Chains A and B, each alone.
Chain A
């Protein structure tokens, strides 16, 4: 915060500056104040110009490039198609910082993998087989749970999905689906992926490299393609910018 304070003081002019005639003009000061506000918003992980309901749930630094505002926007529906590991990695940071997570209709979800990805299991509830009441169960969960993951076993119609999306928007929760979802805001599709580390019997499955394509609407309409390496923790010590610069597919990891 000291950075903000110094910049603000400089921008608005301290008591000493006001006497001098060569101080910044009104327009310059406004511009500078705006940029400081923007920096403060970014450091607090809020989208510029957002109101309280459009808060961002944080994601790990390696995955910020995948999402339109660098985080998971509350009140939206996100589809992660093709990789459960990527889904768990996306939710790990939000869960670690206190968000509640419920997994509905996802009996095959590897809980151990969720724990390894960094999801806090104390704030996770599983609803493995909601049966015919899936829509009612998801709607009730949206009343109090920040992140609701809907798996393939939840029997929902497209009408249900649209209704649940609008409910999530109203309540400011995040809906994450592991399969296509009508009216999703961000769709992350895994185009191709591979594992490294098996070494013809000598090693084991160590690292997953995924090519993820983003599509969607409202800020995510510009499709992009990114390379992601999972699990993320090996990156934690490295400089994230360096990782971006290295061309994918040439580095030996692990």
Chain B
């Protein structure tokens, strides 16, 4: 295999120190403050200002603070890196269609076509860097070469390697630079480089010169991978991210459609056209957006879902029906609304300045001020109608089963949750796992939906002192203050030896609506002393109480104060 046949001309856009930049942006750390990300053991990524002061990757926290006392150490978070990188990818996508995000901070894109479009590869690099800086404010570097390894190394040097010279470009470089293209775990590659170094193979030229079969038999798949990269080849062509485009059809209605049947006639033609296009692409769509423009310049828009039972399959007739129902709604509703608005405006502007004659093009805010007087029963005619198929997916992704749910329901659920996140923000939708802990709050780990944050505490360890099952079904987010009284009306106390002063007889809520409940039975108290070695120890005693309304409550006593933590209902 020769280099020319397998290596794709690839451009790489690299944002240096991306994890730190993403963390700084998320934590709103100013750019001049030295910063680094830290995973609890070692420094993972260092900002340029911190590097200038001598902080290096792999240092311990104390050593980094020794080099640079004012350094800001931020937590490492892969989800945040990927999330923050999305605007950069979008900015690059406005220049080049079809990109691959190798990892946050590193974009691969094909360079052949775009370079021809922009003139030269240097020009393409310049446009990319400018656009990313303009849209996101991040500085980036672009390198162009044959094959992924040469392109990544060229991006680090901000260079363009002429076609066919990638192997020569790589030849004198040390094997350690393989680490820059590793996407997953870097440890095996580092071990391989170390081993090759001890065998006397120090540069890419040394490795590329060996017979391929011998390398594979001695160093396995990883060795073969390294050798192919060293020869300037690609492992595979870049898998480009392609956004399935919405399918849109539209038509102008001339003369404007005043009646539903006239508009429906046009809609039927559009629906058949759209259906034919979808069939041709062998795809199906999740939503239909119907857009219409009225003669007075208003845009009417409505989206219908159509991915399963709601429509029972997508046919031209069904699309027409949807559009017809919508048109009926609009043509009737717009008539009513227009009439009301006109009446109101006429009343308000009886003494106002004279309105212009009809024919002036109404636009945005002042549209209805310029309308001529019309009879109230006249509908606002439609001049343009469009149907757009959104969420286009390959047909067959959602295959209904004979009995039971359709096979695409996981994807559908993910899409619905994504839409709610768009509505409420990323933190609005939470995923939940159980984790180790003793408290009812501690045993639950919440994370924004889509964040792959692992639970910090293992659940399979013994957690002595944990409350017995069943767990309370209602957990109060803010514990309520109560007083617990005994038969004589004196407050119940739990002393240091866990003896209660008297059995509880009444629980009285003080805050909010004052009320009290009789105690029918109780269990406990169970002590819980957590983190007594730390600055913030927590000592409390739990008591389960059965109230006279039939519900159980979980009471906690700390320093003579009783609170309701949860309700068993």
Q: Which residues of A contact B (CB under 8 A)?
A: 44, 46, 52-53, 55, 82-85, 87-88, 98-100, 102, 107-113, 115-116, 121, 123-131, 133, 136-137, 140-146, 170-172, 192-195, 197-206, 208, 230-231
Contact = CB atoms under 8 A, between A and B. Distances in A.
7 contacts: A102-B417, A107-B477, A112-B471, A126-B430, A127-B428, A140-B420, A144-B413
Contacts of B403: 44, 46, 55
Interface in B97-142: none
A192 B547 CA distance: 12
B305 interface: yes
A137 B434 CA distance: 25
Contacts of B310: 170-171
A203 B471 contact: no
A146 B424 contact: no
Contact of B469 (A98, A102, A116, A144): A116
B27 interface: no
A46 B403 CA distance: 9
B522 A110 contact: no
Interface residues of B, number: 53
A124 B434 CA distance: 12
A130 B428 contact: yes
B476 interface: yes
Nearest to B446: A126
Nearest to B445: A111
Given A125-B431, A126-B446, 11 more contacts: A109-B473, A110-B440, A113-B470, A121-B432, A121-B433, A126-B432, A127-B420, A137-B420, A137-B424, A146-B405, A204-B523
Contacts of B465: none
Contacts of B468: 204
Contacts of A199: 521, 523
Contact of B424 (A102, A133, A202, A208): A133
A201 B309 contact: no
Interface string B473-506: 1111100000000000000000000000001000
B416 A144 contact: yes
Contacts of B522: 198, 200-201
A136 B422 CA distance: 11
A67 to B, nearest CB: 19
A164 to B, nearest CB: 14
A193 B309 contact: no
Interface in B449-479: 449, 468-477
Nearest to B468: A204
B423 A192 contact: no
B552 interface: yes
A205 B546 CA distance: 8
Interface in B388-427: 403-405, 409-410, 412-417, 419-420, 423-424
Contacts of B446: 126
B55 to A, nearest CB: 39
Contacts of B471: 110, 112-113, 116
A194 B550 contact: yes
B203 interface: no
A111 B546 contact: no
A175 B286 CA distance: 22
Given A84-B474, A84-B569, A108-B477, A205 B544 contact: yes
A84 B431 CA distance: 20
Interface in B434-449: 434, 440, 443-444, 446, 449
B568 A125 contact: no
A130 B546 CA distance: 33
A37 to B, nearest CB: 14
Contacts of A146: 405, 409, 413
B484 to A, nearest CB: 14
A124 B419 contact: no
Given A126-B446, A205-B470, A109 B412 contact: no
A198 B550 CA distance: 13
Task: Give the interface centre of B416, B444, B446 by most chain A CB atoms within 10 Å.
Answer: B416
A130 B424 contact: yes
A190 to B, nearest CB: 8
A127 B424 contact: yes
Nearest to A107: B477
B215 interface: no
B551 interface: yes
Contact of B521 (A125, A142, A200): A200
A81 B566 CA distance: 18
A126 B544 CA distance: 27
Contacts of B428: 127, 129-130, 137
Given A83-B569, A116-B471, A143 B424 contact: no
Contacts of A99: 405
B469 A208 contact: no
A121 B434 contact: yes
Interface in B53-81: none
A145 B405 CA distance: 11
Interface in B508-533: 521-524
B424 A82 contact: no
A115 B310 CA distance: 32
Q: Which one of A87, A171, A195, A206 has the highest number of Cβ atoms from chain B below 10 Å of its Cβ?
A: A195
B430 A112 contact: no
10 shortest interchain CB distances as A-B pairs: A144-B416, A84-B473, A198-B521, A112-B471, A144-B412, A100-B413, A198-B523, A193-B550, A113-B471, A126-B430
A202 B524 CA distance: 7
Contact of A208 (B413, B431, B568): B568
B429 interface: yes
Contacts of A143: 305, 412, 415-416, 419
Contacts of A142: 416
B550 A116 contact: no
A231 B470 contact: yes
- Point out which of A53, A108, A230 has the most chain B C-beta atoms below 10 A from its C-beta: A108
